[in-house]
Structure 1
Amino acid sequence: MNLAINKEYVLKKAKELLEFHSPSGFCFDIMEMIQSWTQEIGYQFETNRKGAGIITIPGKSNEKVIGLSAHVDTLGAMVRSITSNGTLKFTLIGGPIVATLDGEYCQIRTREGKLYSGTFLSTSPAIHVYEDSTTKARDPQNMEIRIDSRVSNKEDVKALGINVGDFIFIEPKTTITETDFIKSRFIDDKGSVACLIGLMELLKRESITPEYTTKLFISTYEEVGHGSSHIPEDITELIAVDMGCIGDDLSCTEYDVSICAKDSTGPYDYNMTTDLIRLAEENKLSFAVDIYPMYGSDASAALRAGQNIRAALIGPGVHASHGMERTHYIALENTIKLLYLYLTK
């Protein structure tokens, strides 16, 4: 299908989103950025009490309201304690693959807004010193954060203003290659947020009105399980736009839009899923239908919270989830196309 998606715009927004720190519970700054983008495009933006963004796109009919959700919150960490030798113990926000954090740079943000750089390290970080440097488990119990300040004890760290409960931002190392691969932490789910921003820009630029009023819901607590537990009451159908899984027993690739028929919480709405598959087939999109047994989505959270909705799940294929992730622009494009087809069918 020939659709005038602005590739440069989508990639630019994806990069800006990925480079902006926003672990679960610390999304108000990034939401201000998304609000400014929305207002530049020309749609209404509001937030709920949890800080989630709600963007309303008027439709030809109000007979039903279609919700499209994606989460801007990411994995992260928080200061758990300060050690006697001036390093930080941490607790995880969400479920990053902890072994991939060993050697990663980070920033510690105090409640006063000061930022200090640091590095996640094993407590046996030197092969010339520790016999177990290569074998010690990489987990929060056996890791710590080395602060890039002249500190040697707990009192030195506290003098910097660093305290228990301060957020730790993991550096995403975002790179977009000349071949349109997107390499970064937290493509789950900022790749999908970029898809929604790109879709919104397309609809406004081409003066396209969806068949039904549409609300984009940018959630802020998905990685900790309750992102879309409360959505606008007038939403009747919700499509969660979240990363597609790649790996054993799955057919999705980094170039596909994934259509998930069932995840750990159960099957998604049969008729919505069937419509999405039909639209992808008829318009020759690159897509995959898969089952995700170790996965939950914003749609799952909404259903568990008792929302009276139908729900489905789609999103761009992402490799190495919760580690050093990668996808390709084509996967974002196929996701935008499928969302467009669903809204205008």
Structure 2
Amino acid sequence: MKNPFDQTYLLEILQDLLNTPSPTGYCHHIIDKVRQETEKLGYTFSTTNKGGGVITVPGLSSEVLGISAHVDTLGAMVRSIKSSGHLRLTSIGGYMASSIENEYCQVHTRDGRTIDGTILTTKPSVHVYGDARDMKRDEAAMEVRLDEIVNSKADVEALGIRVGDFVSFDPRVQIKPNGFVKSRHLDDKASVAAIFGMLEWLKREEIVPQRTLKIFITTYEEVGHGLSHLPAEVTELLAVDMGAMGDDLSGNEQQVSICAKDSSGPYDYAMTSRLIELAERDGIAYAIDIYPSYGSDASAALRGGNDIRAALIGPVVHASHAMERTHLHAILGTAGLIAAYVTDAAVTSK
């Protein structure tokens, strides 16, 4: 398939999603943006009890194909307020403590305020602490320095900050002229942007998929139960999530990852084989990989006891769960492979 997607639209959606804080459990703002964009395209949007979104695209048959991607990201919560006026954190999602050292952040209070800060170690200066370089970076060693005049726990509480408030990390979004996209949280907002690129194309070209699409935008994937329940009419699920890159892996940042197996076991043979065939048919750069330390919304759905076939694809991302980077080619390729799969044997209404 030639690249039929509106790149300007796709990148605008991606940038907006990346710049919207959405650590797992604090996704109401970003889901509202997803709803607004869905309604602009003229598709039906509903919400789940867990706060996720469901986009419905009518097809030619009553058979339902599920597609999933998640907007929740890594983040943190306030674990405790220290007597110094600094905050101790508890992590949301799995990441290295060192990957958030010296990162700007925001604390989101329950009454709607946002307070800026910086994540530092408890020994942040080599001029003061002899073991600053060598100390172990773990959750207990990290704290937030607020950009407010605070010298005590009472000062912090006066700002409205409490235990259990969410903390989001500055994504530091950069979209380079050569196509590289650098940002935190490309997992999985790059995939959501790819889905919207595909949806905009379907609407613009008035293409009707063979099957009705139920697109699940989930909000608890990073903690393992994003899509643990599916409606009974969904018999097949295509999860769209980032692919990893590194030693013993074959993908690069310009490719689409087709995952054959992750921590939940092998994905459906027929679905995976068809995705490979479609990528080769349409000239989409792809890599087949195995991720033993990875799980997806499809993993959660399978472990939740849903009787489905499932497969997993997504743009390859370097330095996943850290300072991530991918390429526009990988995002467009992902949109292309989704489009090829959902329009397989489909017809146009034109």
**TM-score, length-normalised on structure 2?**
0.97
Match of residue 84 from structure 2:
85
Instruction: Measure the CA separation in 2 of the matches of 1:2 and 1:115.
Output: 44
Matched, 1:213 2:212: yes
Matched, 1:56 2:61: no
Task: Report deviation, 1:52.
Answer: 0.9
Instruction: Measure the CA separation in 1 of the matches of 2:7 and 2:241.
Output: 19
Task: Report deviation, 1:232.
Answer: 2.6
Instruction: Measure the CA separation in 1 of the matches of 2:239 and 2:275.
Output: 13
Instruction: Measure the CA separation in 2 of the matches of 1:198 and 1:39.
Output: 15
Task: Report deviation, 1:284.
Answer: 1.6
**Root mean square deviation of aligned Cα:** 0.8
Match of residue 75 from structure 1:
74
Match of residue 329 from structure 1:
328
Gapped runs of 5+ residues in structure 2?
Answer: 345-350
Instruction: Measure the CA separation in 1 of the matches of 2:318 and 2:66.
Output: 26
8 Å contact 1:211–1:344 — kept in the other structure?
yes
Aligned ranges for residues 333-344 of structure 1 at < 5 Å? 333-344=332-343
8 Å contact 2:257–2:289 — kept in the other structure?
yes
- Equivalent residue of 1:245, what SS? coil
Aligned ranges for residues 176-325 of structure 1 at < 5 Å? 176-325=175-324
Task: Report deviation, 1:143.
Answer: 1.4
- Equivalent residue of 2:326, what SS? strand
Task: Report deviation, 1:221.
Answer: 0.2
Q: Spell out structure 1 runs of 4+ moving beyond 2 A.
A: none
Q: Output one character per residue of 1:157-176: Cα deviation in whole Å (capped at 9) or x when no partner.
A: 11111110011111110110
Q: Output one character per residue of 1:215-248: Cα deviation in whole Å (capped at 9) or x when no partner.
A: 1110000000000012232111101000011001
8 Å contact 1:212–1:343 — kept in the other structure?
yes
Task: Report deviation, 1:344.
Answer: 1.3
- Equivalent residue of 1:244, what SS? coil
Matched, 1:23 2:26: no
Q: Identity of paired residues, percent?
A: 55
- Equivalent residue of 2:336, what SS? helix
**TM-score, length-normalised on structure 1?**
0.98
Number of residue pairs matched by the alignment: 344
Match of residue 348 from structure 2:
none
Instruction: Measure the CA separation in 1 of the matches of 2:38 and 2:256.
Output: 24
- Equivalent residue of 2:316, what SS? strand
8 Å contact 2:187–2:241 — kept in the other structure?
yes
Instruction: Measure the CA separation in 2 of the matches of 1:76 and 1:167.
Output: 8
| Equivalent residue letter for 2:49 | R
Instruction: Measure the CA separation in 1 of the matches of 2:86 and 2:3.
Output: 52
Aligned ranges for residues 57-206 of structure 1 at < 5 Å? 57-62=57-62, 64-206=63-205
Instruction: Measure the CA separation in 1 of the matches of 2:94 and 2:59.
Output: 38
Instruction: Measure the CA separation in 2 of the matches of 1:225 and 1:238.
Output: 17
- Equivalent residue of 1:236, what SS? strand
8 Å contact 2:260–2:266 — kept in the other structure?
yes
| Equivalent residue letter for 1:233 | A
| Equivalent residue letter for 1:29 | H
Instruction: Measure the CA separation in 2 of the matches of 1:86 and 1:52.
Output: 35
Instruction: Measure the CA separation in 2 of the matches of 1:331 and 1:97.
Output: 25
